[in-house]
Structure 1
């Protein structure tokens, strides 16, 4: 696997070099703040729920400062509903995960004249091709090596939380950004459905636990999850505990609940979409999560939170919870990253503190 990863990494770097040679044509230096800002485009085709949530405040600030501005978002099919229905933008364009060069050229034509294009990803060959095709007067990005990026924010935002990178962008546009307020999507039908479900479980404070991250390295195994639940019930025996699941993990969670055999420990059978998970989190008194999307959703909903992370300063500096109600525990450093390698003394102390918030 290491050799395969190294080969892929080397291939991507070679393509990037060719992309720079072929497509990286410098723009005129940016004059900041940009006068007469009419059309701004956010390239979010690699967006996931976590980074979409933590950057969601930027649209509200832009709209307040430039009421007539056209805001376009280019994103994946999976994220399009959020941008279309839960934040204030004018246009959402869906694009495949791996678009062809032809599709990128069509996209550039579709966007038309752009005063500012925001692209915070590390630039690969196709990104560079797209930037060379789009009619953008200014490009803001974190990849300072690229000449096409004439608002270079990489050095200015190094070590900052991902949300703060967008704060710096707004400051460059002459917009004062207060403490970022995330736009968490509360789907009315999903919330009503969760309320009906929880009403059957009795009027008890609710702890929501999400044991599943986006990779095996960030997945709590059954033994670890069970240990956390048992300790939580020792501290607060009269609470309800709901374990988040997905259609892929529901059988595992079902078995765990049967094994624990507690009427106040359960899962939500109707949790089939991210909106169902968000609805359940919105009803929680406390949240424990290994997944950064749920961490940021809980932060946005101002929930007392215990976030579990693998060691790694860069990842944490970018994605830590932005909340004064959040506690953090790190797994111990082991040869292969494993979120289950927890310091149990520290975790139990943090769990006790969480359940007193």
Structure 2
């Protein structure tokens, strides 16, 4: 049975490659489009098809700026990002993307502009671009002038990801304004978190996010336990909350950490919101902490991004005054000494304690 599944998967991948090649040939026969001119644009669709939280958090800054200028901004994204945006009322629509979904209803909405922030050029994106080719298309490093009449050539390993978003805003004549991420507040989830953790105004809360979307960025179990014990050595009354899916983080409750069961992405947001300090190895939580302006200690390795080979710790740095970034040489964060972050964690806790007393 497994053998048949492998054959079927390989066959489907081959067909998709053939369809992509055929579609590319078709698109390249289209004449170059007129220059991008957003003067009469009103409806904008942003593509965030990969359902990546970090990307989506940054995109909220762009969407908010466009909405402020009067554009009706919608986003096409996956279910997790859809949850994250549930209370972001500046979006006109949050449309759930499903692989191989019908695009007829999307096409019928006649968006004036479609924005794709990603460098990847897979079959799904090409198909969507082709079916919605009457819209203006903004893309990055896409040499397809028959579709993308605003293709931005941009790959700068030294610049933060927000610079890419500022390039898009400049197309709409939005310049030199503060760029802040904009997350909504889920009151129901906030109350659930507070009740589960029994938080009082005098409590010091330190949240720890030990896992990411890549194994090379994850803390080991031993590192997390050592960190919990270190935090409690500073003050045993500190409430250490471990963020993550229950089945992955449940074991840390035996070491004095608090866990919120049945956690979602909005659970993570509300835990970060009430935290006096955040420790994370994942850029999703790093940028949520940025959005909520929470004191942060973030641990990065020097891996390069898969699609662009850009340097992750530069492109996806915390990028705000309260974000303390520590970069290690180890390929795997689980191989570094957790003691590396102890001084920064202690500094953040001492500062939080002083604020509580003032």
Return the TM-score normalized by structure 1.
Answer: 0.82
Which residue number corresponds to residue 213 of structure 1? 212
Which residue number corresponds to residue 279 of structure 2? 288
| Contact map agreement 1:245 1:267 (CA 8 A) in 2 | no
Runs (4 or more) in structure 1 with deviation over 4 Å come to 10-18, 156-159
1:307 pairs with 2:298: yes
| Structure 2 residue ranges without an equivalent (≥5) | 1-5, 305-310, 352-358
Q: Paired residues, what number?
A: 332
Aligned counterpart in structure 2 of residue 340 of structure 1, from 324, 334, 337: 334
Q: Distance between the aligned counterparts of 1:276 and 1:183, measured in 2?
A: 17
Which residue number corresponds to residue 196 of structure 1? 195
Tell me the alpha carbon deviations over residues 143-168 of structure 1, each in whole angstroms, 9 at most, x when there is no partner: 33232222122327664322221111
Cα deviation for residue 43 of structure 1 reads: 1.5
Cα deviation for residue 350 of structure 1 reads: 2.6
Q: Distance between the aligned counterparts of 2:31 and 2:301, measured in 1?
A: 39
| Contact map agreement 1:170 1:177 (CA 8 A) in 2 | no
1:249 pairs with 2:253: no
| Contact map agreement 1:282 1:301 (CA 8 A) in 2 | yes
Q: Distance between the aligned counterparts of 1:70 and 1:202, measured in 2?
A: 39
Which residue number corresponds to residue 356 of structure 2? none
Aligned counterpart in structure 1 of residue 349 of structure 2, from 338, 347, 355: 355
| Contact map agreement 2:297 2:341 (CA 8 A) in 1 | no
200-209 vs 239-248, which deviates more?
A: 200-209
Distance 1:55 1:290, change over 3 A: same
Q: Distance between the aligned counterparts of 2:61 and 2:244, measured in 1?
A: 28
Tell me the alpha carbon deviations over residues 155-184 of structure 1, each in whole angstroms, 9 at most, x when there is no partner: 276643222211111112101252222122
Q: Distance between the aligned counterparts of 2:85 and 2:343, measured in 1?
A: 39
Distance 1:36 1:158, change over 3 A: farther
What's the RMSD between the two structures over aligned residues? 2.8
| Contact map agreement 1:245 1:271 (CA 8 A) in 2 | no
Cα deviation for residue 185 of structure 1 reads: 3.0
SS in 1 for 2:246: coil
1:316 pairs with 2:316: no
Cα deviation for residue 284 of structure 1 reads: 0.8
Tell me the alpha carbon deviations over residues 230-274 of structure 1, each in whole angstroms, 9 at most, x when there is no partner: 222334444221122313314333xxx32x3xxxx3222335211
| Structure 1 residue ranges without an equivalent (≥5) | none
Which residue number corresponds to residue 229 of structure 1? 228
| Contact map agreement 2:293 2:322 (CA 8 A) in 1 | yes
Which residue number corresponds to residue 74 of structure 2? 72
Cα deviation for residue 275 of structure 1 reads: 1.3
Q: Distance between the aligned counterparts of 2:272 and 2:124, measured in 1?
A: 38
Cα deviation for residue 127 of structure 1 reads: 1.5
